[in-house]
């Protein structure tokens, strides 16, 4: 097998592995009593959209933030979505280590690029990193609000901890607005 063929297979393998995120559920919601929680891919998609919007509001780079948000939970194909309470009992590899393994057979530019994005998200301090982390927490808050509206009463802790961890004024303002809305109220904003 040529190097090009091996790299193509390694890169395609990484892409196929990412498909697992569409099937893997966010496990923390089970603790709150949500019977059919969102998938990791669903969470990551809305996190990327939120990150882009927050970046626009905060004057950060929306594309860079969205890229970090897309890759922020990709390691969960290998280690799962471990709820915070479960993390006290486990010693897991770092997200950087998992990512390095995931892309080890991929095209060198793909491996370097994905590792750089994850490294920055996990260890950086730029405005884009702060916004990406806020996007992750704001998505969790919005999801909790939606689950609460569907009758799941045990999500208040997710709302409280997410709200308390927001750093940017834009994320705080959007969180406060979301807390006062219903899941379908967005329709009314366009009917005026």
Domain-by-domain residue ranges, the chain?
3-190
The pLDDT of residue 13 is: 97
| Distance in angstroms (rounded) separating the CA atoms of residues 138 and 181 | 14
Q: With bands split at pLDDT 50, 70 and 90, how would you rate the model's confidence at 183?
A: confident
Report which DSSP code applies to 27: T
pLDDT at 187: 81
CA distance readout (Å), 28 to 66, 97, 139, 143, 158: 23, 23, 14, 12, 9
**What percent of the chain has a predicted confidence (pLDDT) above 90?**
82
User: Given a cut of 70, is residue 192 above it in pLDDT?
Assistant: no
Q: Kind and range of the H or E element at 29?
A: helix 28-31
Per-residue pLDDT tens digits for 27-40:
989 888 999 999 99
Burial of 88 (0-12, 13-18, 19+ CB in 10 A): exposed
| Cα angle 114, 118, 124; round to 5 | 135
pLDDT single digits (tens) 38-81: 999 999 999 999 999 999 999 999 999 999 999 999 999 998 88
pLDDT reported for residue 110: 98
What pLDDT shows up at residue 81?
Answer: 80
Model confidence at 5: pLDDT above 80? yes
pLDDT tens figures, 105-132? 999 999 999 999 999 999 999 999 999 9
What is the separation of C-alpha 75 from the centre of its chain, rounded to a whole number of angstroms?
Answer: 11
CATH of 3-190, one of 3.10.20.600, 1.25.40.10, 3.40.47.10, 1.10.3210.10: 1.10.3210.10
Question: For a pLDDT cut of 70, what percent of the chain falls above it?
Answer: 98
Residue 158's pLDDT is what? Answer: 94
């Amino acid at each position: 097998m040529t190097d090009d063929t091996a790299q193509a297979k390694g890169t395609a393998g990484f892409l196929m592995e990412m498909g697992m995120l569409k099937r893997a559920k966010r496990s923390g919601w089970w603790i709150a009593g949500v019977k059919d929680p969102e998938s990791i891919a669903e969470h990551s998609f809305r996190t990327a959209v939120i990150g882009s919007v927050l970046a626009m509001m905060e004057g950060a780079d929306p594309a860079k933030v969205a890229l970090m948000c897309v890759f922020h939970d990709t390691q969960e194909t290998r280690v799962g979505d471990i709820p915070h309470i479960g993390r006290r009992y486990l010693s897991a590899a770092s997200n950087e280590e998992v990512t390095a393994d995931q892309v080890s057979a991929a095209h060198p530019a793909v491996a370097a690029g994905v590792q750089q994005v994850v490294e920055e998200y996990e260890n950086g301090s730029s405005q884009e990193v702060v916004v990406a982390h806020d996007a992750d927490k704001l998505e969790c808050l919005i999801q909790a609000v939606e689950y609460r509206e569907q009758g799941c009463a045990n999500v208040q802790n997710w709302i409280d901890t997410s709200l308390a961890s927001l750093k940017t004024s834009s994320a705080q303002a959007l969180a406060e607005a979301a807390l006062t809305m219903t899941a379908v109220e967005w329709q009314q904003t366009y009917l005026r």
